[in-house]
């Protein structure tokens, strides 16, 4: 087919005027690339490796006449109206009758004579009819035109029969250019040509399609059932992971119960029973400084989800923290209301702990603002917040 296309282009091109052009439509990227390498004509296609700039350059080369021929996939056919296309070639069986008619319709738009060629293999498989709607009918009509009737019936009749639901042969109207069949047989009447077995072949194609659909449905059902099982297993794993994660967070938070978390961090495990407001480490201006620091714990909703803005505990499950409400200060749902923030504040004030935490997380906090920014920064993938990670680290560290 590639050699025959090259022969036709050479023969046709020898008769062209300066303004005349040729188009070759191919059905695959591989075929177009091979033909382009063979003939040195550009290949216009929608492949990822071809940029819009490349396509614009190819089209410009063709329009300006630097390349008289453009090889293209069928997507090019409907968008090009250059009037002086003298030759159109379809190489290999077109996908369907719509592509075929659109491609041939690029020829002779200036009203002058043009030649259209269809270069195909001698045999072809039945079309893959997935539906007998317009798309399926267009595929079958293409197969029927080229392989059932071929050179026996007027080509114009076959195309108009599909396009207009009424066939018009070349000899049925005055002034029509003749197709190759009608040139060979002057006075040819397409209505006299009948091909036995076309209905049977069409029925065979339909049965083949039905068989493929049944196989596909069975495969989809098997795939769906398998996906359901996998989804359930995955949900089970995720739920187990949440439960284990929740237990770990709960264990860390409960280790602070009954004591001031700031005192415990600053005094190496001291279990002072007073509340944060009575903490001796916040005497004088200490309380005001702590409150001002705590106001900086503002979460970025792009990075943080389902974290209580009061106690900073993530809602992993209801055991760790109940479903959120519009809570006010002191809401009874916040079981660990003054645990996380004071502990994090104490870790920064405790120079020894701060150095160890910096080493653990690969950070250099220096000033308090840098530390605060890190606490509220983007957490690691799959983690809730840097703040809760720090508390988890401290719990593990205090046990060693």
Question: Are the C-beta atoms of residues 316 and 249 closer than 8 Å to each other?
Answer: yes
CB 266 within 8 A of CB 346: yes
Q: How far apart are CA 192 and CA 185, in angstroms?
A: 13
Domain boundary assignment for the chain: 2-203, 236-399
* Burial of 190 (C-beta count, 10 Å sphere; 0-12/13-18/19+): buried
CA of 175: how far to CAs of 196, 212, 244, in Å? 32, 46, 85
For 194-239, the DSSP string reads: --TTHHHHHHHHHHHHHHHHHHHHHHHHHHHHHHHHHHHHHHHHHH
The helix (H) or strand (E) run that includes residue 86 is: strand 85-91
Task: Indicate the fold that domain 2-203 takes in CATH.
Answer: Rossmann fold (3.40.50)
Tokens 């209801």 locate to: 318
Task: Quote the DSSP letter at residue 44.
Answer: E
| 382 Rama class: left (phi>0) / alpha (psi -120 to 50) / beta | left
User: Could you read off the pLDDT tens digit of each residue along the chain, which spans 400 residues?
Assistant: 999 999 999 999 999 999 999 999 999 999 999 999 999 999 998 887 788 888 889 999 999 999 999 999 876 766 678 999 999 999 999 988 988 999 999 999 999 999 999 999 988 887 766 555 667 788 888 988 998 888 889 999 999 998 888 899 988 878 888 899 999 988 888 888 877 666 666 666 666 555 555 665 666 667 666 776 677 777 767 667 777 888 888 898 988 888 899 998 888 767 888 888 889 988 888 899 999 999 899 888 778 878 888 899 988 888 888 876 544 444 455 888 889 999 999 999 999 999 999 999 999 988 768 899 999 999 988 888 999 999 999 998 887 7
Angle separating helix axes 340-349 and 351-361, nearest 10 degrees:
100
Q: What is the pLDDT at residue 327?
A: 42
Report how far residue 288's alpha carbon sits from residue 49's, in angstroms, rounded to the nearest whole number: 63
Question: How many helices (H) and strands (E) in the chain?
Answer: 14, 5
Give 22's strand partners. 69, 87
Largest Cα–Cα distance of the chain, in whole Å? 114
H helix runs in the chain, sequence order: 2-13, 29-39, 52-64, 97-104, 134-143, 155-164, 180-184, 198-254, 261-266, 286-295, 340-349, 351-361, 368-375, 386-399
Cβ contacts of 282 within 8 Å, gap of 6 or more: 262, 276, 289, 290
With beta carbons less than 8 A apart as the criterion, state whether 24 and 5 touch.
yes
pLDDT of residue 81: 83
Residue 76 is classified by DSSP as: G
Q: Can you tell me the distance from the alpha carbon of 345 to that of 290, in angstroms, rounded to the nearest whole number?
A: 8
Which residues, at least 6 apart from 83, have a Cβ–Cβ distance to it below 8 Å? Answer: 109, 110
């Amino acid at each position: 087919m590639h050699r025959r296309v090259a022969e036709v282009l050479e023969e046709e091109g020898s008769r062209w005027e300066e303004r005349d052009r040729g188009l070759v439509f191919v059905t695959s990227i591989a075929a177009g690339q091979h033909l382009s390498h063979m003939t040195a004509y550009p290949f216009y296609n929608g492949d990822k490796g071809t940029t819009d700039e490349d396509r614009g350059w190819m089209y410009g080369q063709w329009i300006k006449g630097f390349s008289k021929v453009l090889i293209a996939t069928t997507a090019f056919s409907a968008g090009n109206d250059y009037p002086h296309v003298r030759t159109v070639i379809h190489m290999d069986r077109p996908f369907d009758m719509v592509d075929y008619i659109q491609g041939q319709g690029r020829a002779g738009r200036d009203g002058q004579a043009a030649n259209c060629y269809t270069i195909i293999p001698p045999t072809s498989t039945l079309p893959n009819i997935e539906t007998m709607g317009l798309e399926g009918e267009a595929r079958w009509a293409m197969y029927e035109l080229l392989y059932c009737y071929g050179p026996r019936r007027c080509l114009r009749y076959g195309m108009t029969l599909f396009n207009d639901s009424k066939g018009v042969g070349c000899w049925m109207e005055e002034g029509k250019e003749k197709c190759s069949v009608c040139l060979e047989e002057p006075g040819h009447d397409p209505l006299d040509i009948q091909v036995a077995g076309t209905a049977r072949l069409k029925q065979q194609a339909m049965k083949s399609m039905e068989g493929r659909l049944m196989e596909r449905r069975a495969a989809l059902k098997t795939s769906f059932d398998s996906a359901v099982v996998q989804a359930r297993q995955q949900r089970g794993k995720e739920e187990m992971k949440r439960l284990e994660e929740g237990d770990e967070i709960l264990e860390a938070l409960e280790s602070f119960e009954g004591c001031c978390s700031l005192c415990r961090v600053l005094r190496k495990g001291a279990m002072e029973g007073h509340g944060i407001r009575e903490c001796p480490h916040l005497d004088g201006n200490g309380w005001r400084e702590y409150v001002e620091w705590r106001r900086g714990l503002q979460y970025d909703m792009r990075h943080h989800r389902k974290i209580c803005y009061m106690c900073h505990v993530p809602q992993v499950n209801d055991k760790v923290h109940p479903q959120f409400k519009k809570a006010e200060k002191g809401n009874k749902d916040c079981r660990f209301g003054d645990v996380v923030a004071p502990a994090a504040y104490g870790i920064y004030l405790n120079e020894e702990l701060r150095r160890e935490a910096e080493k653990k997380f690969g950070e250099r906090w220096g000033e308090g603002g840098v530390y605060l920014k890190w606490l509220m920064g983007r957490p690691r993938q799959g983690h809730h917040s840097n703040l809760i990670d720090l508390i988890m680290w401290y719990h593990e560290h205090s046990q060693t």
